[in-house]
Chains A and B, each alone.
Chain A
Amino acid sequence: MAAPLVLVVLVAVTIRAALYRSSLAAFISERVEVSSPLNAWKRVVEGLALLDLGVSPYAGAVFHETPLIIYLFHFLIEYAEMVFMITDVLTAVALYLAIQDFNKVVFKKQKLLIELDKYAPDVAELIQTPMEMHYTPLKVALFYLLNPYTVMSCVAKSTCAINNTVIAFFILATIKGSAFLSAVFLALATYQSLYPLTLFAPALLYLLQRQFIPVKLKSKGFWLYTMQYAALYLCSLVVIICLSFFLLNSWDFIPAVYGFILSVPDLTPNIGLFWYFFAEMFEHFSLFFVCVFQINVFFYTIPLAIKLKEHPVFFLFVQIAIISVFKSYPTVGDIALYMAFLPVWSHLYRFLRNIFIPSCVLIVCSILFPVLWHLWIYAGSANSNFYYAITLTFNVGQIQLISDYFYAFLRREYYLSHGLHLTRQDGTEAMLVLK
């Protein structure tokens, strides 16, 4: 399997290199859908230039990256294009290895459940076979590398790619079962953009499953392991933050990074839901609504954890998708990460009810974004409502996609344990609905 992967990597790198040399690079890096105030490359360069002039890069609300990014790019700024291509490749390779391991885990679990007779007799066609899952890791790498969103994000040199790499390594470490590495990478991801905090729950659930510790609230083993993992995570987070203090000898980066993410002061339009609301809100309501919007991101973790505690990797997928929809400054790079996982659930295809509409919505909205931006900003014949409508539609499309997959996943699980032909008590055919 290495050879096809290498081929895919080569093709991806060629596309990116070609785009870097073309005139589209400047155009793409200016797009607000691709670069947000948090991860724009222009701001990284600006921050490093300020540092060379002897001023703290966090003075003035230009630079919102973490000190580790300063350290990384201080030496690598001339090779920025190579760095971003390498990060994309690393992400793809990490996802490839992670999904390879995940397949093995799925097989083991399936085998166990078959031997335990947990499956209904007529669900043979639903069980995943090695033949059909052989190419899934390659497809995942392909989906990530050749996704136009990823390519645009790489060409724009948005540091979202670095965040994706860290999350991909976190997923790899989690699936391999190493709690320590998983905690370290999760701490790095949280340190960079705060929202991967919610990925703590699926990682914990997966590791518990792997250690065969049942998730019971009264069980001592459960709490012991949870405490261990949480301690590892928090300690690494604290260590990384304290280490960042020593880079510039100041705590300036905390309000500049986390304060900025949480309080959303910059209302440049992007593909998220925050900017329009807060642009037209009165001052004395804005604190309340900022809290409401931020809680919205973290809110789905507990209910999903309860529902999907047997399927933590799917929970991870849904959680990453929710982060990329509801975070304060989303970009298409975040979307590319969870879309890379879609081949893993390709066996759910027969249960997806309305895959056509969300895909059309996503494609059409992606095309309409630059069109309506041009009409609004340059032609002056539209206004922000047009752009926000497309943003809303795009996010609704994403949510429909996720909930469709969620429904299909749960439906398959139900069929697995209750048989394919469901009947009601009086013998007529029954239909599953998601309430």
Chain B
Amino acid sequence: FQEQAEQFFRSGHTNNWAVLVCTSRFWFNYRHVANTLSVYRSVKRLGIPDSHIVLMLADDMACNPRNPKPATVFSHKNMELNVYGDDVEVDYRSYEVTVENFLRVLTGRIPPSTPRSKRLLSDDRSNILIYMTGHGGNGFLKFQDSEEITDVELADAFEQMWQKRRYNELLFIIDTCQGASMYERFYSPNIMALASSQVGEDSLSHQPDLGIGVHLMDRYTFYVLEFLEEIHPASQTNMNDLFQVCPKSLCVSTPGHRTDLFQRDPQDVLITDFFGSVRKVEITSETVSLESGLAGFESKLPKDELATEPLKYAEQLPVAQIIHQKPKQKDWHPPGGFILGLWALIIMVFFKTYGIKHMKHIF
């Protein structure tokens, strides 16, 4: 019984989201797009729907003029797996993949005109998977060859998310050179982070395909993908197994992880808590009655607000009044003292010049 209860309280999440970001463009960064699309494919296969995935790609691989197999993005050298497929929904494509848009997606500070598919509508019961790949360095990640996001910015964004209750638990995976530097600054609770290489190490690509002419995937994600191919929605594999993926002998770089901010033991965290969308279903045979708490509301509406007549369209602007407006009366008048002084002076000058006795000649 206790185990049942434990299982029930194992994770507090009710929905899953995924934010998958590929920060590179151009043909020679084919592998980053393939990385992201592989994770996208796995995540979709394990149950997270497109409406809960925010996919940010430069999306210039499948239709690139240099792609000998147009409309495909392969993840394995024998062209076994086309991760582009027919149902890829890219939410932020091409030049929309910017640091600003990424941070806006995470924090929810999005202009009101943004469509739903481009929003991360998570709540405090959401488990979010954030996967980033591209070119990085010690403390930064390069976005589309023109700007960078720093580890501090990312940590602050996650803190904003925590304060706005936008996640329950967050899994952050990064596959770039010196990727561990990106998670070192996190300070918000309930974040688990994985990186493909430590500070000072480069993440290497897996294998080139001589038919396509570029490297198809990075090593770390390749092995993660292999690992994920064996997961199904009901599997009980936990995070500790994910930490063992891609040892140094296979990956050449040392993958790292960070769990100190995470409240649960990684052994109790299922892979499907983040990569899948496993709903908790509780079957009950009792009937539940909902009380109507809305009865008291209608009487509270003030009656007098509805009494005024609605304006007809033609009457909204008093045009007749405006057209026949008389010119505004002048409000300012020179002070009396001034007028008196001025005319006194003028009369003085006049009489000084002409003399009072000459008045009769003038008038």
Q: Which residues of A contact B (CB under 8 A)?
A: 51-54, 68, 70-71, 74, 178, 180-181, 184, 239, 243, 246-247, 249
Contacts and interface: CB of A to CB of B under 8 A. Distances in A.
B349 A246 contact: no
A246 B353 CA distance: 26
Contact of A52 (B328, B339, B341, B345): B328
Contact of B338 (A52, A53, A54, A71): A71
B342 A181 contact: no
Given A180-B353, A243-B342, A52 B332 contact: yes
Contact of B335 (A51, A52, A249): A249
Contacts of A74: 330, 332-334
B337 interface: yes
Interface string B331-363: 111110111011001000100110000000000
12 contacts: A52-B328, A71-B334, A71-B339, A74-B332, A74-B333, A178-B353, A180-B352, A243-B342, A246-B335, A246-B337, A247-B335, A247-B338
B346 to A, nearest CB: 10
B331 A246 contact: no
Per DSSP, are chain A's interface residues mostly helix, strand or loop, or mixed?
helix
Contacts of A54: 331-332
A97 B335 CA distance: 36
A74 B332 CA distance: 9
Contact of A181 (B330, B334, B341, B349): B349
Contacts of B345: 239, 243
Given A178-B353, A239-B345, A246 B338 contact: yes
Contact of B341 (A51, A70, A246, A249): A246
B348 to A, nearest CB: 10
Contacts of B337: 246
A52 B330 contact: yes
A68 B339 CA distance: 10
Contacts of A243: 338, 341-342, 345
A184 B330 contact: no
Interface of B: 328, 330-335, 337-339, 341-342, 345, 349, 352-353
A247 B334 CA distance: 6
**Of A68, A71, A180, A247, which is in contact with the most chain B CB atoms at under 10 Å from its CB?**
A247
Given A178-B353, A184-B349, A243-B345, A51 B332 contact: yes
Contacts of A184: 349
A229 to B, nearest CB: 15
Contacts of B338: 71, 243, 246-247
A71 B331 contact: no
A199 B225 CA distance: 96
A181 to B, nearest CB: 5
B326 to A, nearest CB: 14
A183 B265 CA distance: 101
Contacts of A71: 334, 338-339, 342
Nearest to A180: B352
Contacts of A178: 353
Contacts of A246: 335, 337-338, 341
A356 B349 CA distance: 45
Nearest to B344: A243
A247 B332 CA distance: 11
B353 A52 contact: no
Contacts of A247: 334-335, 338
Nearest to A249: B335
Contacts of A239: 345
Nearest to B327: A78
9 interchain residue pairs of minimum CB distance:
A246-B338, A51-B332, A247-B338, A243-B341, A52-B331, A246-B337, A71-B334, A52-B332, A181-B353
**Of B330, B332, B342, B353, which is in contact with the most chain A CB atoms at under 10 Å from its CB?**
B332
Nearest to B337: A246
Contacts of A180: 349, 352-353
Contacts of B328: 52
A52 B331 CA distance: 5
Nearest to B331: A52
Contacts of B341: 243, 246
